[in-house]
Amino acid sequence: MTNRWQGRVVRLRAVDPEDWEAHYHWDQDSEMSGRLDFVWPPTSRARARRWAEETSRQPDDDNLALEIEALESGALVGHIGVHDSDRRIGSFSYGLAVLPEHQRRGYASEAILLVARYFFQELRYQKVNAQVHSDNTPSLALHEKLGFAREGALRRMVYTGGQFYDLMCFGMTAEEFAARYPELASAR
């Protein structure tokens, strides 16, 4: 059996209702939420349970929410959530996070590539976008390394920690993906 949601180091899977507790704890990591968005207010256990319960259902659109599991240990190491999927234009964006103790093992890279392959090869999308806070050095380096084009900056679109930041826009077309990752583009 092959699972197209599985790569060399991670497997992407749907959110289960039982995952609420992991997300409840992650959401208290102010550094992580500040890099994704801004420092979120405390969330309740009830809200985290409701989110996991609702998210565990198949979405009506293509905005998939996926847990990142490390293949080696089976541990839940992060999350990738597709948003702004536009079936007419064929473009989508995502946000993702890998827990600090599991970083620098290629998990984020592979999760992004698995999602991009699925959207390009199964759902006929043609462009993936990513927006990164201008001070988020790890994520800027990640997207550069994956071969995303730096498409520009939206100025002063982020406010966190008492400061404004720009939003750096990255993108990769389906053709660029196929040229850079021929082994992924041709695999069945």
For ligand COA, the binding residues (CB under 6 A) are 32, 35-36, 95-98, 103-109, 132, 136-139, 141-142, 145
CA angle 71, 171, 95 (to 5 degrees): 45
- Nearest distance in Å: CB 110, ligand COA: 7
Name the residue nearer to ligand COA (CB basis): 8 or 145: 145
What is the closest distance, in whole angstroms, from the C-beta atom of residue 46 to ligand COA in the complex?
A: 25
Nearest-approach distance from CB 96 to ligand COA, in angstroms: 5
The helix or strand, by DSSP H or E, that contains position 50, with its residue range, turns out to be helix 45-55
Q: Which of 32/76 has CB closer to ligand COA?
A: 32
Which pairing describes strands 10-14 and 65-70: parallel, antiparallel, or unpaired? antiparallel
Closer residue to ligand COA, CB minimum distance, 26 or 62: 26
DSSP 99-157: -GGG-SSSHHHHHHHHHHHHHHHTS---EEEEEEETT-HHHHHHHHHHT-EEEEEEEEE
Spatial strand order of the sheet with 127-133 comes to: 10-14, 65-70, 76-86, 91-98, 127-133, 163-173, 149-160
* 32/48 with CB nearer ligand COA: 32
Report, in Å, the least distance between residue 77 CB and ligand COA.
Answer: 8
Nearer to ligand COA, 6 or 49 (CB): 6
Q: Answer for the pair 127, 149: CB distance below 8 angstroms, yes or no.
A: no
CB of 137 to ligand COA, least distance (A): 6
**Vertex 140: Cα angle to 138 and 144 (nearest 5):** 115
